[in-house]
Structure formats: structure tokens, C-alpha cells
Structure 1
Amino acid sequence: MNTSQQPGLLSHAPRLRISIWFLLIATGCLFLADISITSINPMLEMQRFFSAWLQPDLNIIGTAAGALVITIAFALIGVALAAICGLFIATQFQRRWLRTLCAALRSVHELFWALIFLQCFGLHPLTGLLAIALPYSGVFAKVYAEILEETSASPERVIAGNNSRLTNLCYSRIAQAWPHLASYTRYRFECGIRSSAILGFIGLPTLGYYLEASFSQGYYSEVASLLLLFFALIASIRFWCHKRLLPLWLLTSPWLIISDHFNPAGQTSIQWQNIERFFTSDIIPAPLRNADTWWEAETLAVFLQWFENIFSQQILPGIWNTLILTQIALVVTGIIALLLFPLASKLFVNTIGRSGGKLLLIVARSTPEYLLAYILLQLWGPSMLPAIAALALHNGALIAHLLAKRSEHLPLRKDAATGLARYGYEVLPRIYNPFMAILFYRWEVIMRETAILGILGIHTLGFFADSAIQEIRFDVAMLLIISAAMLNILADHVAGMLRKKLKLQQMSSC
């Protein structure tokens, strides 16, 4: 028996070593992180918040109904545009410059894009649409290309002839992969709703606008009602977004977001002079903005001093805190996923227990990390702890949901062990490969979210970028956003190398 088990143990050894290294790094980061609870009476605030869920204020729902519809409209149009662009780019994804462009687009968080476009368009519908469409296009292009690559090439060889490459793809690979493409698009639409909701935190009239207003005033009963409404929206998506209703939504959504309800003052026209000033002056580094020639020694010296100050005082501290927070959140995410997935798997709990477990995972993964961090920040005070909890709960629940679905397809012997023995000896070794694959995939996502959580006051790169925008120093803000994007690209590259080295099979549904 020992001999037969040895190959399996050896095959898992590299993954276990990598897991232990990540665990040790995260433990070390805990000693460097600020995870204190700084609110005066956190237990009282948490009691008030959770008590409000027993008596939600339903009056706010009528007021927020319009915002809910606009949230859907932004998500639908933004995701639709991104899916179309992403599919087209995916057919040309063999071009290196396109892959680089997509990596740059998806490495910048939707809120960063929104803050950039806010300076160009103001509170115009284009701000929200482009903030969703651009990064999602990069995501769609990458995932669509991977899905198409995994399909059989035989039909393409059969119909190859005088037809163009695009025509061959449409009738061969795309036709084969269509169910997977559609499934992933539905998943990204759910993500788009979450992204659309949090755009309200920067002033767009989506659901997040009312959530922030209610929370900042301490109206927890209104917050509970709005969150329940949001959870109901996500849970019922397959009903109100049925394929028969989709054309109606697509036709009405543009009208909804440009109607008078979008901006009561009616100030939705684009100020082109703002766009011209933003690109020709605002984002040009201050030392170079009014210089006649950039290559003069005196101008370059001033520019290098300007860059050195930003690098040492903002970029380095921002990267340091972003990395610390990311590594802790990544490991805690993995631990939560491994602990929670049995609650939603038929291999471990009965139907009633599984329903409760699935409801828990739906609520956790449906709540955007930014919104969850905002709530915990109000309850616990400013530190890294709310961000770690928010990132780990959301991503851990998402991974747990995928692992639970995968575990239910595992064949078990009739005499298989039960309880902890089944978990430790039968199921966990067989799902650890896809678990690590999706965890490394979420690494880039967690780092991108970590950077943007700086807007809430945590000293990551987003904190310094948001501060620069508030101070109307857009040149500094762009430098910080580019730094965050490069850090995300690096994390994605390292994660890809680890997936390749460990021969991890990525789960297409993530």
C-alpha cells in the first residue's frame, strides 16, 4: 500500500512546499501589518449594525429602485461592449502587443478608470461605461482566448480553404466553445453588477451612492434594506436576465442611463476642453509641463528630483503596504475557501445544511470587496484588518463555491470514509490542484482590489493616488496608477509561472 501511495504523495510535494512558503510569508507579513481595531466601541457599532437587519427600513427601497435599474443598465452595456471587444481581440490574441495592451487594461481597477474619466467627462454616463468596459475587455480577451485555445482544432482544419481566419474561427472554435463563452459572460455580468454598484461611491447614481449616504449618516436600517435588495438582485439574476428578456434590457438600458434621472441638473454634456487639458497638460509631469525643451540638463534634474520624491515618499510605501496586505489576504482567502466549501457540497452535508451553506457563500461572494471593506472600516476603524477580512471573505466564498461544485463530481467508492477522514484523505488531495490554480488566478485580482482599497484610507497605492487626485495633481496620480498597474502585471506573471511550473489546470469558470 505504501508503494502505491508514494507517487501521489510525490506529485503533491511541490504544491505543498509552495503552499507552506506562502503561509510563512503571510505569517511574516502579519508582524508588519497594522491590524488593530481603532474604533471607540466596535462591539456597540457591530451590535447596532446587525440589529438593523432585524428591522430594515423598507422606505428607502422606493427611492433606490431607480438606482438599482441604473446599476443594471451600466453593468449590461459595459459588459456587452467589453464582451464584443474581448471576443474580437481574442481571435487576434497571438499578437504580443495585443496581449500587452489587454494586460495593461485589466491591471487598472474599475474605480481607478472611473476616477480618471471623471476628470475628463465629469458625472457623464461615459465615465461609468468606460470604467467597466475597458478593464473587462482585457479580462474577456484573455479568458476567451484561453477557452478558444482549449477547443479542438480539427473542425478548423476541415473547413480551412479560401476562407479568412476569422470566418474559420466563427464556424469552428467559437461554435464549439460557445456554451463556455456564454457561461463565462454570464459570470462576468454578475461581476459587472458589483462593479457598477460601487461606482456610486464616486458620485455616479448607482446603488453604491445611496449605500454610502446611508452608512455615513449611521442609518443602518437603510443600509440593511439596500444590501438585502442587492443580494436579491444577484440571487435572482437568472430570472430577470433570461435570454428572452435580454434584448429588451439592451434596448432600454441606453435610455435609462442618459435620462434626466441620471443627473437632475441636466449637466451631462461632455466638456471637450477638459479632455484636451487633461491629456495635454494635467497628466504631464509638473517639471516638464511648461519647459521649452525636456532634454535640457536643468529640466531633467528638476524632473528626476520630482520623481525621486514621489518614488520614495509614495510609490515605495504604497507598494510595500499593497504587497503586505495582498499576501495576507491571499493566504487567508485560501484558508477560508478550504474551510467553507464542504458547507455547500453534498459530499459532506445534507440538503438543508447545504442550502444554508450556499446562502452564506452567495451573500459573501455577492458583496463587493470595496463595499464590504467600507462597512468593516466604519465598524472597526481604519487599519488593514477591514481590508484583509473583506478581500478574504469575498474571494474565499467565490473559491469555496467553485470547489463545492467540483467536489460533487468526484467519484467515491461505496466504502469511502466519512466526515473529516473523507475531507482529508478523499476530497482535499483531489481538488488541491484546481484550488491552487484558481487561487493563483485570484492573486492578481486581490492585488488590484488591494490597491483600490487605499481610497478608504488604507495606505496602499490607491491611497496616494486618490490623495493626488483630491489635490488636483493628476500627473502624480497617473504615475501612481501606472505603478499599481505594473505591480498587478508582475503578480499575474509570477502567478502564471507558478501555474506552469506546478502544471496546474485552471478552472474555466473562475
Structure 2
Amino acid sequence: MKSIFRLHNRFILTLVLLAVFVWSLFSIQWNADLIHSGGIPTLLQIVEGLIHPDLSPEVLILGFESAWITLAYAVAGMSLAIIYALIIGILASGVLTSNRTSRIVSKVFFRGILGFTRSIHELIWAWLFVAAIGLSPFAAIFALAIPYGGILGRIFADMLNDVSGEPIKALKSAGASKLQTLIYGYLPLIWADMISYTMYRFECAIRSSAIMSFIGLGGLGYQIQLSLQDLKYDRVWAFVFFLIGLVIFVDVWSNFVRKALTDRKKRQGFSSGWRSVFFTLLLTIGSWVFIHIAENAQFFELLSEKNIEAAKRFFGGLIGLNNDEPAFLDRNNWAAALKLTLETLEMSIMAIGFATIAAFLTVVPAARNIANGHLTGSKKWYNWLLYGIVRLSYIFSRSVPELVWAMMIIFIFKPGLLPGAIALALHNFGILGKLWAEVIEDMDSRPIQNLAASGASKIETLFYGILPTVLPRFLTYILYRWEVIMRTTIVVGFVGAGGLGMEFKLAMSFFNYTQITLLLLCYMILVIIADFASESTRKAVR
């Protein structure tokens, strides 16, 4: 009876999600005016640049230099994020508290800090830091450290709370203190998962580091932006390929680290693990040395009198000091901002809808156990070809940040919600497809093999065997990516994709600080709504 009720809930939820997606489509006037008059020729030029990228020695040297800057910023930012996440995440878990009341207070307070820091996109943090301390590499590093620290801290806290109670009770019975219980009980049990998830977030930090160029900081994104402004699409794709190479490098490194962690019992696993640790330390030290010497970034300069005065002026402006009519106290401004908030919500729903459709149409050939015939018992020569093509498309789409996709698409479509939704969908299609394919690869193959052996066709095997098994996980990943998209919608608006982001850029350009505060409040309301809706919906499909 319980399983029937759960299936009913999932069916109703699927229908609701489809209805909401269709509702979001009505926010667009579907006509020929969506495309620029020169949009199609521009699209052809972009495709030509993709096929024939500029691989001249000058571009290659510039690409390697910019790739290193992007990597160094990401490594430095993540090193600070890990420290922040460990400290606040442990406090947010409540494992160091001695009674129920202090545990609840600790969880609410520190989880609130983590929630606030991760709810604001890293590019927003970067813009705020640049306004406060100027174009310093530390603006990019802090902008990466704060939201990624919030994300990691939340996951670390959840991991600590999910630890089995038996080993912890045994340690406490032996007289271990709270700190000893943490070091010898909790952390050893979740250490591998913490490292694995941190490596995944590091891949995301590479893409985030690249888009710091939008506010004037160097790296691959800066070169992509300059090339787009000069309409040199062959150079654009050359630098995009460098970015894809960085993401693949991190992905391979991440797989190597995870394999070393799972092979601890083997001697080779130990040596691999130590090599990974040594390489990580070397890269971290090298990044900080580069930022300190080559970029001439001095930490104590941030505390200079000039910077402190600028920060006071900026943050004072955000809360409306010396402003008789702050925007966040005006009813008309709130009405306009809430309208933009609704548009931003529609954009995010369209984006996850487009990404879901594209991933659903491609995920089956992208699963390794289908390509090799292990799941269905059908081995065809073209299965591996399809597998390779789809998997490459996943890597390509997710390696390019949403902002870079938006910067190219805005040359084809007129400013509005549609180019923003397409840019977000292109990036998340690759992520969603990869996650879904891994779900199919991890499923129990015996029921599917029995279906195939009984004479079921491929379509019947898909709809009666594979989909009923994987659909709950698919829905979970859809909701998870929608949360992420909600945080990112404001960013694609910077380049004319509409919503809160477009208005935020204008407010920054005209130094309308109280308007910035109003837009940030609306943005945070959206993120909180997305978190609540996503968590409630996930519980319904469990």
C-alpha cells in the first residue's frame, strides 16, 4: 500500500512539473522577433569558429597563461573554502555540543550562516568585493571561497549528522572527549566522501573562476570576453577549448583521487593516495606563491586606510546610510523588483525544462552498461559510437560556464528570458545527462535482463524496466539542478538575458546601492523558495 501511494505521488509530481514548465513557456512571445536580423549569419560564424579555432602560437601561449591564472584563482579560493567549510560545517552539525538545546542553537545559527553565504552567487560576491576593495585577485579568491565554503560546509554538516551512532557511542563509553570523538570517530568515517565531494566542487570552481573576468579580473574568461567583443569567434572557441581542457584535467585528477581512496587496502592505493596529496599541496602552494609574487597581491594591503574607507562607503550605501529614500523602502520599487523576480523564476523553470528534455533524449545511449550490452543483452557496433558522441557532448556543454554560453547566444537572440534559459539549459544539460547516465550504470541489471530475455522490445524495456527504476533519482537530480539554476539566473542577466540580473547590472553601473540591496533581497527570497520547494518535493518522491 505504501509503495502504491509513493508511485501515485511521483506520478502527480511529474504532471505538476510538466504543467509548471508549460506555464513558463507562456512568458515568451514565440515569433520571428526573438532572433536578431543578423542572428542566423552570426550563428553560422560561431559554428565556423568552432570548426576552425585559432590555434596560432600567440593564442596558444595566451591560452596557457590564462588557464594557469584561472586554475590558480580556483585553487586559492577552494583552499580557503575548505578551511571555512570544515570549521563552520562542524559547528553546524552540532557534534561538538553537549546537550540538545545547545545543539539546536548551534545548528540553526551556523546553518543560517552557511545558507546565507551559499545563496548568493560567486559573481555577485566578486562584484561586491571589487566595489569594496578594487580589482585585486583577492576579490576573485574571496568571491569563490565564500559561496563554495557555504556549499561544502552544508554537505560536511549533513555527512557528520548521517554517521552511524554505534562507533560514536563506543568512543564515548571509553571516555573520549567531544574533540577526540570528532577526530577519531566522525572524520575517519566520512573523510573519503568529503574529499570526493570537494573534488567535484573544485571542477565547478574552475568554471566559476573563468567568469570572474566579467568584472575585470584576468583568466580564460577575460580572453573569451575580449574575443567576443572583437567578434573573433575562432579565438573564442580556442580559449573555450582551454577551459574544457582544464575541466577534463580536474575530472581525471578527481577520478584518480577517488580511486586511490577506494583502493586503500592495496599498496598501490596508498602510494597513489600520497602522490595525490603531494600534488594537491604542491599546486596549492604554487597558486598562492603566484598570486603573491606574479600578481603582486598583498593580503595586508586589503586593510589599508583607503580600502577600509571604500568598504565603509560601499556597505554603508547598501544599508541606506545618508539616503533619505532608500529603494528597499519604496513600494513601487518593490513592485517592479517582484515582477523581475517572477521573470527570473520563469527563466529558471524554462531552463531546467529544456535541459531535462535534452538529457532524457540522450541519456540511454550515454550509459556504459547499455553501450556494452550488459544491461539489455544487445550488443551493436554503433552503441559505442553513440556512447562516445553523447558523452563528449555532455563534457562540452557542462565545461562551458552559463555566462559564456549567454555571451554567445545574446548575439543570436534578442535580449530577454529565452537566451538566458537556453544558456542555462546548455550548461545543465551536460551535468544532468552525466548524473542520469551514472544512475542507469549503477542500477541492478537482473530485472532488465529478464525483460529482454522474455522478448521485450527496446522501447518496452525502457518504459517498463529502466524508467520505473531510475525515475525517482532522475526527479531528485532535476530538483537539485533547479536549485543551482536559480542561483545562476541572476548571472546570465548581466549580459542582457533579462530578469533580476539585468537590473542588478544597471544598479551597479549607476551606483544605486539601495537598489542593489532590494534586488539581493528578492534574489535571496527566490533561492529560499527554491530550497524549500525542492526539499519538500524530494521528500514526496522518497
TM-score w.r.t. length of structure 1: 0.89
Q: 1:309 to 1:168 in 2, by over 3 A?
A: same
> How many residues were matched structurally?
486
For residue 163 of structure 1, give the secondary structure of its aligned residue in structure 2: coil
Aligned partner of 1:428 among 447, 462, 467: 467
Partner of 2:284: 250
- Contact in 2 for aligned 1:124/1:268 (Cα 8 Å): no
Partner of 1:477: 516
1:197 Cα deviation (Å)?
A: 0.4
Find out whether 1:188 has 2:223 as its counterpart.
Answer: no
- Contact in 1 for aligned 2:133/2:310 (Cα 8 Å): no
Q: 1:240 to 1:102 in 2, by over 3 A?
A: closer
- Contact in 1 for aligned 2:118/2:148 (Cα 8 Å): yes
Partner of 2:426: 393
Partner of 1:73: 72
1:396 Cα deviation (Å)?
A: 2.6
Q: Summarize deviations over 1:366-394 as a string: whole Å, max 9, x none.
A: 11111112211122232222211121222
Partner of 1:3: none
Task: Give, in whole Å, the separation in 1 of the partners of 2:236 and 2:131.
Answer: 29
Partner of 1:176: 189
Aligned partner of 1:15 among 10, 16, 24: 10
For residue 39 of structure 1, give the secondary structure of its aligned residue in structure 2: coil
Aligned partner of 2:51 among 38, 49, 54: 54
1:277 Cα deviation (Å)?
A: 4.1
- Contact in 2 for aligned 1:108/1:135 (Cα 8 Å): yes
Task: Give, in whole Å, the separation in 1 of the partners of 2:396 and 2:108.
Answer: 39
Task: Give, in whole Å, the separation in 1 of the partners of 2:328 and 2:145.
Answer: 37
Q: Which amino acid aligns with 2:289?
A: W
- Contact in 2 for aligned 1:79/1:192 (Cα 8 Å): yes
Q: Summarize deviations over 1:190-246 as a string: whole Å, max 9, x none.
A: 000000001112111111000000011110110111111111221122556771421
- Contact in 2 for aligned 1:156/1:173 (Cα 8 Å): yes
Matches within 5 A, 1:314-333: 315-333=337-355
Find out whether 1:259 has 2:265 as its counterpart.
Answer: no
- Contact in 2 for aligned 1:231/1:363 (Cα 8 Å): yes
Aligned partner of 1:356 among 389, 392, 396: 389
- Contact in 1 for aligned 2:21/2:350 (Cα 8 Å): yes
Partner of 1:134: 146
Task: Give, in whole Å, the separation in 2 of the partners of 1:327 and 1:436.
Answer: 14
Task: Give, in whole Å, the separation in 1 of the partners of 2:148 and 2:114.
Answer: 9
Partner of 2:40: 43
Find out whether 1:235 has 2:234 as its counterpart.
Answer: no
- Contact in 1 for aligned 2:122/2:144 (Cα 8 Å): yes
1:109 Cα deviation (Å)?
A: 0.4
Partner of 2:28: 33
1:436 Cα deviation (Å)?
A: 1.3
1:37 Cα deviation (Å)?
A: 2.6
- Contact in 1 for aligned 2:319/2:514 (Cα 8 Å): no
Q: Which amino acid aligns with 2:90?
A: T
Aligned partner of 1:216 among 215, 224, 229: 229
1:419 Cα deviation (Å)?
A: 2.2
- Contact in 2 for aligned 1:107/1:448 (Cα 8 Å): yes
Q: Summarize deviations over 1:261-284 as a string: whole Å, max 9, x none.
A: 579xx9995474554445544444
Q: Summarize deviations over 1:274-331 as a string: whole Å, max 9, x none.
A: 544455444446995337xxxxxxx6xx558952232123x11221111111122222
Q: 1:383 to 1:194 in 2, by over 3 A?
A: same
Find out whether 1:340 has 2:373 as its counterpart.
Answer: no
Task: Give, in whole Å, the separation in 2 of the partners of 1:268 and 1:201.
Answer: 25
**Structure 1 residue runs of 4+, over 3 Å off?**
6-10, 161-164, 238-242, 258-263, 266-288, 302-306
Q: Summarize deviations over 1:13-57 as a string: whole Å, max 9, x none.
A: 211211211211221221123565331122211111111222211
Find out whether 1:145 has 2:157 as its counterpart.
Answer: yes
1:111 Cα deviation (Å)?
A: 0.6
Q: 1:490 to 1:238 in 2, by over 3 A?
A: closer
- Contact in 2 for aligned 1:120/1:278 (Cα 8 Å): yes
Q: Summarize deviations over 1:330-356 as a string: whole Å, max 9, x none.
A: 222322232222131134333332122
Aligned partner of 2:444 among 411, 417, 427: 411
Q: Which amino acid aligns with 2:291?
A: I
Q: 1:304 to 1:398 in 2, by over 3 A?
A: closer
Partner of 1:296: none
Find out whether 1:155 has 2:167 as its counterpart.
Answer: yes
- Contact in 1 for aligned 2:73/2:141 (Cα 8 Å): yes
- Contact in 1 for aligned 2:326/2:515 (Cα 8 Å): no
Q: Summarize deviations over 1:98-126 as a string: whole Å, max 9, x none.
A: 11111111110011000100011111111
Aligned partner of 1:310 among 328, 333, 344: 333
- Contact in 2 for aligned 1:104/1:489 (Cα 8 Å): no
- Contact in 2 for aligned 1:119/1:274 (Cα 8 Å): no
Higher mean Cα deviation, 197-206 or 157-166?
A: 157-166
Q: 1:377 to 1:487 in 2, by over 3 A?
A: same
Task: Give, in whole Å, the separation in 1 of the partners of 2:497 and 2:120.
Answer: 18
Q: 1:27 to 1:138 in 2, by over 3 A?
A: same
Task: Give, in whole Å, the separation in 2 of the partners of 1:306 and 1:173.
Answer: 47
For residue 408 of structure 1, give the secondary structure of its aligned residue in structure 2: helix
For residue 348 of structure 1, give the secondary structure of its aligned residue in structure 2: helix
Task: Give, in whole Å, the separation in 2 of the partners of 1:166 and 1:337.
Answer: 45
1:162 Cα deviation (Å)?
A: 4.1
Q: Summarize deviations over 1:246-271 as a string: whole Å, max 9, x none.
A: 121111101222334579xx999547
Q: Which amino acid aligns with 1:66?
A: E
Q: Which amino acid aligns with 1:147?
A: M
Q: 1:311 to 1:7 in 2, by over 3 A?
A: closer
Find out whether 1:402 has 2:435 as its counterpart.
Answer: yes
- Contact in 1 for aligned 2:10/2:540 (Cα 8 Å): no
TM-score w.r.t. length of structure 2: 0.84
Partner of 1:289: 321
Aligned partner of 1:113 among 112, 125, 138: 125
Q: Which amino acid aligns with 2:523?
A: A
User: CA RMSD for the aligned pairs?
Assistant: 2.5
- Contact in 1 for aligned 2:418/2:497 (Cα 8 Å): no
Q: 1:303 to 1:180 in 2, by over 3 A?
A: closer
Q: Which runs of 5+ in 2 are unaligned?
A: 95-106, 257-275, 372-382
Higher mean Cα deviation, 430-439 or 390-399?
A: 390-399
Q: Which runs of 5+ in 1 are unaligned?
A: 1-5, 292-298, 504-510
Q: Which amino acid aligns with 1:236?
A: F
